[in-house]
Structure 1
Amino acid sequence: MRIATMATGGIGGYLAVLLSKAGHEVATIARGAHLATIRAHGLTLEGPDANATVRPWMATDDPSEVGEVDAIIFGVKGDALGPAAEACRPMLRAETVVVPFLNGVEAADRLAGVLPPGNVANGMCKVSTTIAAPGVIRQVGTFSSFTFAERDSTPSARIDALRAAIAGAGPEAPPTDDIVRDVWEKFVLFSAMSGVTAAGRCTIGEITAIPQLADLFRNVIAETAAVGRARGVALPATVEESAWAFASGITPEMRASTAIDLEHGRPLEVDWVSGAVCRLGREVGVPTPANDALYAVLLPHKAGGGAP
């Protein structure tokens, strides 16, 4: 397949390496020192799934140089969605599928408001990756799963083709009969991981060891699940306990990307995580006091640049 990564951060870079190794043509969209290093030395993945450097088919900051592709792995920060989506237009043909792997539950609808809705799918991933240095993607933990589908979850050849490509490259890429449920199921966990590890400047190990933090974490899980159900999402009855069990079993040093961004003074996606729970909860009359508090605590750091 011919695949573009928009952009080539933790998620896009991780898949770009594995898909390139598997023989696919991957165009990596990047900028600055990251792009310069990819062009000069290749793109490197460090972690349990690979320690490898690849030379992508193309590395550029101009999507118009890429031309039409079969699929776009869309993995930018929430606040960058609009401009990044517009930049994808030169890579689209009628059957190109754009799969968002963003934090939160609103990316697919937001993308469909910018790009032709027929090009937009929906997706979520479970993998912990970050840009460790220009041209270097680091994976933490051993889990790696990418779930995606058409926005209405109907089967399609283009989704099957991309699923086969990703599964053939190594990660899990399971089918689904309800992608909205799956995206929200991850969000139930991530809203707590993001809000608590960032606001508490802590790891998941510290959360599970400190009862007060554990209570806060579980309250966030419960609120987010309540909002999803009130919005008609078919979340499993066990989603709250499953989220806590998963969090309790992962690497104790794990933190959400929000916490890492805060530590480095980068902008935070608070509007699309804690802030989204609060906003979506208000729309359906579900109170979200724990998420409200985390959102308020993180808002001063939303623009980044300040001391954490």
Structure 2
Amino acid sequence: MRILVLGAGGVGGYFGGRLAQSGGAKEVAFVVRPRRKAQLDRHGLVIESPHAGDLRMPVTTILPEELGPGWDVILFTCKAYDLAEAIETIRPAVDARTAVLPILNGLAHIDALEAAFGPDRVLGGLAGIQATLTPDGVVRHLAPLTFITFGELDGTISDRVTALKAIFDRTPIPPTISSDIRRALWGKLVFLGTLAQATVLMRANLGEIASAPGGTAWIERLYDRNVAVAEANGQALPEQQREFLRTFFRTSPAATASMLRDLENGGRIEADHILGELLAATRRAGLPDEIAEAAYINAKAYEARRDAGRLPGANA
């Protein structure tokens, strides 16, 4: 199996690096921009992980203009706001044998990818990892909980997902094939959406919110509302998953959404792809949307302020 990884940042670099290290694939290559290609060609792919072991190895890198067909799987690891550009980047690499596996946040990317490449070319996927790319090009793995889940969007267990799982089985990244990947994607939206709504609105982690009068009950109500939103949209979460997430929100005081971390660093955020999608789903469900709307407006106002160069320190 030939695997092409779009990007070599925190997510693409870690997942692609572990795939390359495993030797389970016929080839693993990274499509990257010139600056990142120069780093990788000079120093190799470097991963620092106290959880799964460090890695330094040479890797195959390809510039977008050099792409051609012949890939079995394309691992799509961009941010959701880069989706349109990423689709055009990989278009020359997609042929009749290719499966595109996105591990993006949100739901709308599935429709966009199916429209671009056809339903038969697109898998559903989600991943969990805390990793970042340092300025000197090191992929730093920050927390032990790391996984990938993927599956056919029609629920079948195909040869291609089985073959891909066998390759991931040789890495430190636990893989799961899902026969209901759409529901799994909704579960991730409920989790990320609740975490983003809470921590972005309050500019605080879960513990700091819980320490405020009524904070714990407010988080619980927010989570319950989003569980109800998923159910009303035909994607009721399994009881075991509901209770697992409820426990997370009760027992993870240091947790924040990556959106809050990006916002506090003055970076781009996935406002439309997480908060916007959850707001639209809340309205489709006919459920009260005041908090979902406030969180989305908050994030979009930040984007407007960032685009205008009016963030604190922007003119320093």
Same structural fold, with TM-score higher than 0.5 when normalized by the shorter chain: yes
1:79 to 69, 78, 81: 81
Structure 1 residue runs of 5 or longer lacking an equivalent are: none
Question: Could you tell me how far 1:146 is from its partner in structure 2?
Answer: 0.7
1:1-308 to 2 correspondences below 5 Å:
1-23=1-23, 24=25, 25-31=27-33, 33-47=35-49, 48-56=51-59, 58-62=60-64, 64-65=66-67, 67-210=69-212, 212-237=214-239, 239-250=241-252, 252-302=253-303, 304=306, 306-307=310-311
Change (3 A) 1:110 1:65: closer
Query: Secondary structure of 2:143's match?
Result: strand
Give the structure-1-normalised TM-score.
Answer: 0.90
Question: For residues 18 and 263 of structure 1, do their structure 2 counterparts lie closer, same or farther at Cα, with a shift above 3 Å needed?
Answer: same
Tell me by how many angstroms 1:238 deviates: 5.3
Q: What is the distance in 2 between the residues matched to 1:224 and 1:44?
A: 39
Q: 1:98-156: per-residue Cα shift (whole Å, max 9, x none)?
A: 11101112322221122222110101112222223342222222111111001112110
SS at match of 1:227: helix
Q: Distance in 1 between matches of 2:136 and 2:147?
A: 25
Instruction: Give the TM-score normalised by the residue count of structure 2.
Output: 0.88
SS in 1 for 2:28: strand
The structure with the largest alpha-carbon Rg is 2
SS of structure 2 residue aligned to 1:108: helix
Q: Write the deviation string for residues 239-267 of structure 1: whole angstroms up to 9, x where unpaired.
A: 443212124445x5443221221122111
Deviation per CA, 1:180-227: give whole Å up to 9, x if none: 111111221111222333333333443454454433433332222222
RMSD: 2.2
Structure 2 CA distance for partners of 1:120 and 1:31, relative to 1, 3 Å: same
Q: Equivalent pairs: percent with the same residue?
A: 30
Show CA shifts across 1:10-60 (max 9, x none): 22111111111112322112225333212211222222123212221x223
Give the C-alpha shift of residue 232 in structure 1: 0.8
Task: Classify 1:171/1:279 alpha carbon distance in 2 versus 1 (closer, same or farther; 3 Å).
Answer: same
Unaligned runs of 5+ in 2: none
Instruction: For residue 267 of structure 2, give the secondary structure of its aligned residue in structure 1.
Output: coil
* SS of residue in 1 equivalent to 2:226: helix
CA distance in 2, matches of 1:189, 1:128: 15
Cα 1:269/1:216, change in 2 over 3 Å: farther
Decide which moves more: 20-29 or 196-205.
Answer: 196-205
Deviating runs (4+, > 6 A) in structure 1?
none
1:70-115 superposed Cα distances (whole Å, 9 cap, x missing partner): 1111121112112211221221221211111011123222211222
* Contact 2:70/2:97 (8 A) holds in 1: no
